[in-house]
Amino acid sequence: MNTSDSRPQGALAGIRVLDISRILGGPYCGQILGDHGADVLKVEPPQGDDTRTWGPPFKDGVASYYHGLNRNKRSMHLDLGSTQGREALLALVAEADVLIENFKAGTMERWGMGYEELSRRFPRLVWCRVTGFGSDGPLGALPGYDAAVQAMAGIMSINGEAEGGPLRVGLPVVDMVTGLNAVIGVLLALQERQRSGRGQFVEAALYDSGLSLLHPHAANWFLDGNSPRRTGNAHPNIYPYDTLATGTQPLFIAVGNDRQFASLCRCIGVPQLASDARYARAGDRSVNRVALKAALEEAMQDFDGAALVDTLMAAGVPAAPVLSVDAALSHPHTAHREMVVDLPGGYRGIGAPVKLSRTPATYRHAPLTPGTGFGG
């Protein structure tokens, strides 16, 4: 795990990011940029980011939710409702390459710091705005929260058991993907700035990001017009791509082609299923999934689940145990991939998932590291 400043500088070393966003999408964007070497200064209101209170658990009065989104930043407090606070912010903007914000549409403009004004004064500035629905259109400028957008974007309608009701995905997937899209937008704008010498406005909206997650359900609907339905753990297009019972514990098996299906059948002692006309081809397996699931689970009832995972993986069949969060974070491969970060003072967090060979991610500042400006 790279926690030393003696290692190579990150890919974004020298880029200064002013993060005045709150909650999840914007702060997650800022943390990723910081992991890869950007100098990130987080400016919070006097009472702090709302997520400081989103617990338990808490450490020294600050919720774990906040700690999970704000490493590799130094933080300071400004009252942007005051003239003095806005003047201090403008001085920081003058030094920044990137500004991340997610205020309600019109707030920055009301403060005299809208994009038109700041881009005129600071033409190289990349301004990244994270919004719920964008700034215009039928829903423009309305506030957006992850679960509400999951509902509106159709995600809840295709998540859950087939016979159950719509279900929220059990993590803030829309917020997090919006943060990732914000990172992509910032990097695209920085790359283009090298050619033009000019910054630009980047917007990542929760609504757009939620819709972008609908593959393959949207693709299916565009092609056949049938409204997608819930399929539980099973994939809507291919089978077996589902949680299947064994003699001990359930496994998730992800068969993507005929060769993998034949290998699965050999491993569980029913090679004849691979030549059965109902299951020989991917499309047939999907159509006849109910009978196929019953046949596979009957064959697997005498197998130990953990041992069968090893057998299947060795045979080239994607399979996995269904682990709890604590088991996943404690897995030896999690440690090997450096996906848990430990910093002095007791901070622990999820590591950077993108690995660069010459300029790897570094972990320099635990959340709540004080700061007064860039380069400190």
User: Residue with structure tokens 């800022």?
Assistant: 30
Please answer whether residues 105 and 140 qualify as being in contact, where contact means their C-beta atoms are separated by less than 8 angstroms.
yes
Residue in 146, 175, 208, 242 annotated catalytic: 175
Q: How far apart are CA 238 and CA 265, in angstroms?
A: 16
d(CA 327, CA 312): 21
CA–CA distance, 278 with 260 (Å, rounded to integer):
16
C-alpha torsion sign, points 321, 342, 1, 68? positive
DSSP string, 112-157: T--HHHHHHH-TT-EEEEEESS-SSSTTTT----HHHHHHHTTTGG
Beta bridge partners of 130: 204
Give every CB contact of residue 167 below 8 A, 6+ residues apart in sequence. 156, 159, 160, 161, 230
Catalytic (active site) residue 175: yes
3-state secondary structure of 370: strand
CB atoms within 10 A of CB 15: 21
Peptide bond preceding 56 in cis form (omega within 30 of 0): yes
Secondary structure of 197-257 as H, E, C letters? CCCCEEEEEHHHHHHHCCCCHHHHHHHHCCCCCCCCCCCCCCCCEEEECCCCCCEEEECCC
Q: Which two tokens stand for residue 336?
A: 């090997």
**What is d(CA 321, CA 22) in angstroms, rounded to the nearest whole number?**
36
The CA-atom distances, in angstroms, between 224 and each of 159, 203, 290 are 20, 32, 22
What's at 285, amino acid-wise?
Answer: R
CB 329 within 8 A of CB 278: no
Tokens of 193: 């700035």
Q: Which residues are catalytic, by number?
A: 175
